[in-house]
A = this chain, B = another copy of it.
Amino acid sequence: MVATTALFEIGMQTKIEATKHQAHAAELFRRAGIFITPVEQKQIETADFGLGEFTQTGLGVLVYVNTERCCAKELAMWPRQTCPEHRHPPVGDDPGKEETFRCRWGKVWLYVAGQTSPVIHCQPPRGREATYTARREIALNPGDQFTILPNTLHWFQAGDEGAVVSEFSTRSRDECDIFTDPEIQRLAKIAT
């Protein structure tokens, strides 16, 4: 339970905002042809990474399954919304999360550590450019996919219509993700 005063913390999503974002994420899934249940709609995480600029830096996340061994999610992205740069480090015996992104609808530009691409189609969120370092660009249109190896820096941004992306991976341990931007909190609270 977050204290009432938390409502006034800069950038914290209110329950009303989160519910509105959940409805829009469900609508994006619907456009992508993906059926989710009413219960699942309420389970959509509207991650703003603690920055309080959800439609700029954020992600709608529906986790289908996340066991000790594997995980599947749908990601809903608003037009030009960015998932900030991060990596999935080794945790104990686990070499770190391996994940495959498959674009279902719209378009997403993925940036991974490696050789800088000759043309870069996305701008990182304004004021945070220094926290975006990966410049190997991979364009994902519907039916395209890319597998990111563990501990590899990556970030991604939707195109002008937004995007829906399926993620297939080993176990998700979001709390262990390492973000380049020190201001980011992956598991930001929602004001109640």
- Is A127 an interface residue, CB under 8 A from the partner? no
Determine whether A98 belongs to the interface, using a CB cutoff of 8 Å to chain B: yes
B100 lies within 8 A of A147 (CB): no
Is A142 part of the contact surface with B, judged by Cβ < 8 Å? yes
A88 CB–B CB distance under 8 Å:
no
Nearest chain B CB to A55 CB, angstrom units: 25
Are the C-beta atoms of A64 and B169 separated by less than 8 Å? Answer: no
Contact A70 B169 (CB under 8 A): yes
In the complex, which of the residues A34, A71, A102, A142 has the most CB atoms of chain B within 10 Å of its own CB atom? A34
In the complex, the answer to whether B35 meets A65 with C-beta atoms within 8 Å is no
Assess the B104–A35 pair: CB atoms within 8 A: yes
Residues of chain A at the chain B interface (Cβ within 8 Å): 32-37, 40, 64-65, 67, 69-72, 98, 100, 102, 104-105, 142-145, 147, 166, 168-170
